[in-house]
Amino acid sequence: MNNEEIKEQNQFEELIQGLIDNQYGCCNDFILPSTATGLRNNIRTLNASGNLKSAGIGNKTDFQNDQLIRSDKVNWIEKFSANQYEKIYLQKIWRFIHHLNKTCFTSIKTFESHYSNYELGSFYKRHLDQFKSEKGRKYSIVLYLNQNWEVKDDGLLSLYPLNSEQKDIAPLEGRMVFFRSNEMEHEVHPSSTRERKSIAGWLKN
């Protein structure tokens, strides 16, 4: 393995070990700043062209739009995207899935993800990512795209691990968070200073 492959494998192991030890993994600099910039610009372009849509809750069978529960806007990322930055992201997540399947026997077969844009004051109340009517989502991933995020910006992700203390995570550029979709309740707090950008994804079997 070359240095880049070793570095990537260490990132994957950091996420997995965090999940084992703390019920969630967190890895900084999961993607290069240039990739984060490209993905962030994609969100800006989608927003400017009106292609970010108000997010709902539930799956296709029980979908509803409830602005009291969540107020972010999303756009789903195509599985075979031609966008160069989306391709870098998608390929890296597939490599993570292969590593996860090989080392932890997780039998993940696919994943889905979307851009999330939280405008000023937008939020997502405490929830689980697993649907009551569909159990396909096994692991959740969140990749943050916010350049120079500061404490005063707020907009934290709160995790509520079972039988453990609340964990608050700042949405720093390049940071990846990883947890079980059916166990980890979590919440996105509003920012009162700036928009908050990320990619949310789900590894499925």
- Residue 139, pLDDT above cutoff 60: yes
Please, which pLDDT band fits residue 68 given cuts at 50, 70 and 90?
Answer: confident
Contact 69, 127 (CB under 8 A): yes
Three-class SS of residue 26? strand
Specify the pLDDT at position 63: 42
Per the model's pLDDT, the better-predicted residue between 56 and 188 turns out to be: 188
3-state secondary structure 94-136: HHHHHHHHHHHCCCCCEEEEEEEEECCCCCEEEECCCCCCCCC
- Residue 146, pLDDT above cutoff 60: yes
pTM here is 0.93
Specify the pLDDT at position 62: 45
- CB atoms closer than 10 angstroms to residue 1: 8
Distance CA 66, CA 180 (A): 24
What value does the mean pLDDT of the chain take? 93
Domains and CATH numbers, the chain: 3-56+68-204 (2.60.120.620)
Phi, psi for 108 (deg, rounded to 5): -75, 130
Distance CA 188, CA 175 (A): 15
Condensed to tens digits (0 to 9), the pLDDT of residues 79-131 reads 999 999 999 999 999 999 999 999 999 999 999 999 999 999 999 999 999 76
